Amino acid sequence: MIEQDPDMQVTVLHSAMEALEIVKTEAFDVMLFDLNMPVISGLELTKRLTASNPEHRILIYTGYEISPNFNLLIESGVSGFVSKTASREQLLTSIRCVLRGEAIVPVQLLRQLRRRDIRLPQEHGERALEEVSINERETEILQEVASGSSNRDIASKLLMSQRTVEYNLTRIFEKLGVRSRSEAIVEAKRLGILSASEFR
């Protein structure tokens, strides 16, 4: 489907190991990886390549449900996702979008990135308001913290690395102006981010 476009040249490989070797000597504008490949998955291949060059533009091309791996894929550095049910036009449009530095995310997954804006009074009794933005993922982490989950438990449940959980908690603390989990829970409850029913 891609080769039918006169502006595009395609190199087809049948294994992740081949891909790891060829990128050492050849440059590609965009790479499409199947999520489920033998030996090394599309996720692992993406992580290895972006670790060596974060500028790689990678699309995951799959017929499987992406949701279970969504956070891990985003963290690995992918530029987007294309379903194998996509038409030729949709596929080519996705490639061109990635070439322009744009991300391709299905609408149902995009909704996970919805932000929740909280208005907080500034210090020293000023009337002006400072906006603190807590996104959906950060809210989920707060909910797990309120439930007494450890960082390891949160990482496992939300399909992310423990390091990512720690990074997100640091950002949450900064946004809420707190220094500990317990303070974060109290402040999140006061702001209405967490309801009393989410506490154990």
Q: What is the pLDDT of residues 188-200, one digit of tens each?
A: 888 778 875 544 4
What pLDDT is recorded for position 112?
59
Q: What is the pLDDT of residues 29-42, one digit of tens each?
A: 999 998 888 788 88
Long-range CB contacts for residues 32-36, cutoff 8 Å, separation at least 24? 32/58, 32/59, 32/60, 32/61, 32/82, 32/95, 33/58, 33/59, 33/60, 33/61, 34/60, 34/61, 34/62, 35/60, 35/61, 35/62, 35/64, 35/66, 35/69, 36/62, 36/64
Q: What is the pTM of this model?
A: 0.54
Q: What is the pLDDT of residues 2-34, one digit of tens each?
A: 888 888 999 999 888 999 999 989 999 999 998
Q: Which two tokens stand for residue 188?
A: 């999140």
Give percent above pLDDT 70 in the chain.
Answer: 82
CA distances from 33 to 61, 105, 174 (A): 6, 15, 37
Residue range 119-147: average pLDDT?
66
